[in-house]
Amino acid sequence: MTAGAPTAVASAHATNGEAPPPTPFTKEEDLHAYREMLLIRRFEEKAGQLYGMGHIGGFCHLYIGQEAVVVGMQMAIAEGDQVITAYREHGHMLATGMDPKGVMAELTGRKGGYSRGKGGSMHMFSKTKAFYGGHGIVGAQVPLGAGLAFANKYRGDGKVSLTYFGEGAANQGQVYETFNMASLWKLPVIFIIENNRYAMGTAVERSAALSEEMYARGAAFGIPGEQVDGMDVRAVRAAGEKAAAHARSGEGPYVLEMKTYRYRGHSMSDPAKYRTREEVTQTREERDPIERVRVRLMRDHDMSEDELKGMDKTIRATVNESAEFAQNDPEPDPSELWTDVTVEA
Amino acid sequence: MPTDILMPALSPTMEEGTLAKWLVAEGDDISSGDVIAEIETDKATMEVEAVDEGKLGKILIAAGTENVPVNTPIATILEDGEDASAAPVSAKAPEVAAPAETISATQTASTATTAPAAIIAPDTSVPEGTTMISTTVREALRDAMAEEMRADDNVFLMGEEVAEYQGAYKISQGLLEEFGDRRVIDTPITEHGFAGIGTGAAFAGLKPIVEFMTWNFAMQAIDHIINSAAKTLYMSGGQMGCPIVFRGANGAAARVAAQHSQCYSAWYAHVPGLKVVAPYTAADAKGLLKAAIRDPNPVLVLENEILYGQSFDVPEMDDWTVPIGKAKVVREGDDVTIVSFSRGMTYALEAASRLADEGINAEVIDLRSLRPLDTATVIESVKKTNRLVTVEEAWPICSIGSEICQQVTAQAFDYLDAPPTKVSGADVPMPYAANLEKLALPSAEDVIAAVKQVSYKN
Ligand SMILES: Cc1ncc(C[n+]2csc(CCOP(=O)(O)OP(=O)(O)O)c2C)c(N)n1
Ligand SMILES: [Mg+2]
């Protein structure tokens, strides 16, 4: 699936998320994936709780249900590869190794937050972890991510840019402007469509033409695409490795459509009346990305219930610590209002 | 009666050109559509086709003549039976005059200024004895980019037609040849997309120069200029700088109507996180663009198509830069302060020299930068003159002039002897018709009238 458009897309179509089962994970890999995904889930649950208590304001978009996408992709890439996404980015930040304390403190608008309290839930960055945001304008991160890839190619440093966006954002014009240039210039970028079925209250069938084939959206530009079970961390890693190898070898961009699902509303204020309770429950019961790894850990890797509970406890402690910090850390000094508008030349 | 063949314009803003070559001789028969001559400007070469039929009478402008104003008769066509000695249509043979006076009839009269170089006060930052070289704004911008690209491999240029075509307005002439296609990059016509890609590359530490063919088209990219480039430093608590330059032609061009003639000065000067410059002279264009490329922030360079071809003295220095955020007093006077920028300076300076003939000495300030805005220089001047007139081509509501008037009123109220006054473009979309377009733009006469108004000399 590395050649020109038509064949690539045709074969991608054939796989349709049912590619031959990806290489099984070792115990270490499953443990790693489990720990990373659970950290995101527990962190998001805590954020939801703090939001309900009034400690977090504004918009707050949780990543619960989609954990396997970012964790699998992080397992597929190399140190220094960049990550950029939209406002549903708490999971991406934790997966790139950013400190939960700094993330949570940004949610509460405190001094110790990654943006010193000036960005909030939707706008966080870490240059040291190669995390480039955190963008509040739907679709804007797509050309920005291609710009990171442009810099990689310009410097010849072998890095790949992971540019994530929702299936709703996939309808933006700038996405196609970017596909065109990324393919034309063979930029090392992986476009990851997180198809969680909804853009706020709009189901993908109601907003996207050919909504079953979002992975083929790059076809007209000669960009190979693949549909991936985004609830299976192993499938994500396998697809990610292939796409990264493609991008890194100078063959240009790749599209990965991750079929995933968000369990919570679009943001904290969304009661999600546009879908049935059964739909959510069924997905949770049958496709939950964390549960799938948990089962494997016990069945294939001889982990005991107690051992897994112990892990959960450690993760909860980390999350609680971040919540404590986020509530006790002072608000930014009033003088911060005026800083970081421009850099001193 | 013989018919005149006139010097044609290659573009709406062309004022003069070189008659490079005659492809026909006196006495040749020509029919419409025949290529009869070649003309050149600093931007392009074009073939002149005959529109009329007949015999070529007299060639009035010899091949190789430079600075031939648009609409000058260059030859005559004879009707049947006429001979070349028949009187040409024009009463007197056209003069091919010095550049400063070669303003075509089709241009607004108010652009017909005396040579700016003679008026503008020497720059105090130029060491005495520095050689001055007459340079067009176009060349100055190109030189600025070339110098900075030589000095820093992180600097690159992207935009529509910047590479192979050498720039839609020929600003990037020669850059592809010198720097190659890794650093001089033609983009598809996708402003939203490439403004975003440039911004992302700047987040990653490169120093892109993004050229918009004109700022009108940057409306499709304004989300990235403001939401992505300007705000990210703040939203990241100072982590994510964006060292990018967005540049291109701004303001009214000539006869291209509403969608292609708009001044965005106030739009962008409004935005914290951006720096905005709008040079008038070639020296400022060069020095400010160099400073913009080096600046770690997003800097917008609002150029002006009509100024591209105008020449000014540029100091011959190894590294000529102009600080962003500093206005310049270009003409000293005690009676009134006239504040302008970019092409507005043309009207301001012409008005000042005509007012001087009437005994009114205007101090003229070129803002050069619109954000940060050097209000201190303006206020200092108003404290001396007690009167203020602002001049710009933009619309009047919420304009740069509005801001200057407010700042001066707030900070120098007690010094004012009259309410500050704005001269601006008319509050309408730019019309196409020549007469209406002229009415929609400010003129030296408007500036003179405003000065008299604030001086109670009407
Ligand atoms: C340009 C723009 N239009 C509208 C919005 C409001 N908005 C925020 S999120 C969203 C839905 C996006 O859905 P999708 O891309 O599928 O991402 P998801 O929220 O599912 O992660 C909308 C319409 C916005 N932020 N930006
Ligand atoms: Mg969605």
Question: CA B380 to CA B337: how far, in whole Å?
Answer: 10
Could you check whether the bond before residue A6 is cis, i.e. omega within 30 degrees of 0? no
Q: Cα of A219 to ligand 1 centre, how many Å?
A: 24
Which of these is catalytic: B15, B139, B224, B260? B260
Residue B204 has its nearest CB partner, among A118, A148, A344, at A148
Q: Give the pLDDT band (50/70/90) at residue A18.
A: very low
Average pLDDT over residues B270-296: 98
pLDDT of residue B9: 78
Residues in chain B whose Cβ is within 8 Å of chain A: 156, 182, 185, 187-188, 190, 192-206, 223-224, 227-228, 232-241, 272-273, 275, 291, 294-297, 324
pLDDT of residue B15: 81
Alpha helix (H) residue ranges in B158-274? 175-179, 191-203, 222-223, 232-235, 265-269
CATH code of domain A23-326: 3.40.50.970
pLDDT of residue B120: 56
Does B260 qualify as catalytic in the annotation? yes
| Per-residue pLDDT tens over the stretch B357-390 | 999 999 999 999 999 999 999 999 999 999 999 9
**Is the four-CA dihedral B5, B11, B16, B22 of positive or negative sign?**
negative
B125 CA: distance to closest CA in chain A (Å):
19
Burial class (CB in 10 A: 0-12, 13-18, 19+), B219: middle
pLDDT at B52 over 90: no
pLDDT of residue B441: 97
Q: How far is CA B444 from CA A22, B77, B111, in A?
A: 75, 39, 9
pLDDT of residue B5: 87
Q: How far is CA B112 from CA B152, B281, B427, in A?
A: 40, 16, 24
B257 CA: distance to closest CA in chain A (Å):
27
Q: Which residues in chain B have their CB less than 8 angstroms from residue A339's CB?
A: 238
**Cα B229 → chain centroid:** 25
pLDDT of residue B8: 84
pLDDT at B32 over 80: no
Q: Give the pLDDT band (50/70/90) at residue A116.
A: very high
Do B431 and B257 contact (CB within 8 A), yes or no? yes
Give the binding-site residues of ligand 1, using a 6 Å CB cut-off: A 88, 136-138, 166-169, 196, 198-200, 266
Beta carbons within 10 angstroms of residue B122's beta carbon: 12
**Is the four-CA dihedral B178, B181, B182, B187 of positive or negative sign?**
positive
Nearest CA in chain A to B235: A119
Which one-letter DSSP state was computed for residue B262? Answer: B
Average pLDDT over residues B250-255: 92
Question: CA A116 to CA A113: how far, in whole Å?
Answer: 5
Question: CA A133 to CA A331: how far, in whole Å?
Answer: 22
Nearest-atom number in ligand 1 for the CA of A170 is 15
pLDDT of residue B31: 83
- Best mutation site among A138, A141, A217 for ligand 1, i.e. most ligand atoms within 8 A of its Cβ? A138
List, as one string, the DSSP characters of A255-272: EEEEE---SS-SSTT---
Average pLDDT over residues A166-172: 97
pLDDT at B96 over 80: no
H/E run at residue B297: none
pLDDT of residue B121: 61
List, as one string, the DSSP characters of B205-228: T-EEEEEEEEGGGGGGGHHIIIII
Q: Give the pLDDT band (50/70/90) at residue B84.
A: low
Among B350, B400, B288, which Cα is nearest to B113's? Answer: B350
Structure tokens at A40: 């995101």
| Per-residue pLDDT tens over the stretch B323-339 | 999 999 999 999 999 99
Ligand 1, atom 11, lies closest to the CA of A199
Nearest-atom number in ligand 1 for the CA of A166 is 15
Q: Cα of A117 to ligand 2 centre, how many Å?
A: 27
A293 CA: distance to closest CA in chain B (Å):
35
Ligand 1, atom 2, lies closest to the CA of A138
Residue A144 has its nearest CB partner, among B182, B196, B273, at B196
Q: Which residues in chain B have their CB less than 8 angstroms from residue A143's CB?
A: 192-197, 199-200, 224
Nearest CA in chain B to A174: B193
Phi first, then psi: give them for residue B34, nearest 5 degrees. Answer: -70, 140
Q: Which residue out of B153, B154, B236 would a mutagenesis test of the A interface target, given it has the greatest number of A Cβ atoms within 10 Å?
A: B236
B228 CA: distance to closest CA in chain A (Å):
8
Structure tokens at B97: 């005059």
Q: Alpha-carbon dihedral of residues A150, A213, A228, A252, nearest 10 degrees?
A: -20
Residue B235 has its nearest CB partner, among A119, A143, A149, at A119
Do B283 and B312 contact (CB within 8 A), yes or no? yes
Phi first, then psi: give them for residue B159, nearest 5 degrees. Answer: 160, 180
| Per-residue pLDDT tens over the stretch B158-208 | 999 999 999 999 999 999 999 999 999 999 999 999 999 999 999 999 999
Does B191 qualify as catalytic in the annotation? yes
Q: What is the strand order of the sheet A254-259 is part of?
A: A131-134, A82-85, A161-166, A189-195, A254-259, A225-229
Question: Pick the residue with more confidence: A16 or B210?
Answer: B210
Phi first, then psi: give them for residue B314, nearest 5 degrees. Answer: -120, 130
Asked if A142's CB is within 8 angstroms of B237's CB, the reply is: no
R_g of chain B, CA atoms, integer Å: 24
Exposure of B412 in the CB half-sphere (CA atoms within 13 A): 26
Do B396 and B423 contact (CB within 8 A), yes or no? no
Q: For chain B, give the percent of residues with pLDDT over 90.
A: 76
Alpha helix (H) residue ranges in B32-171? 116-119, 137-151
Average pLDDT over residues B209-226: 97
Ligand 2 (ion): residues with CB under 5 Å are: A 166-168, 196, 199
Ligand nearest to the CA of A138: 1
pLDDT at A193 over 50: yes
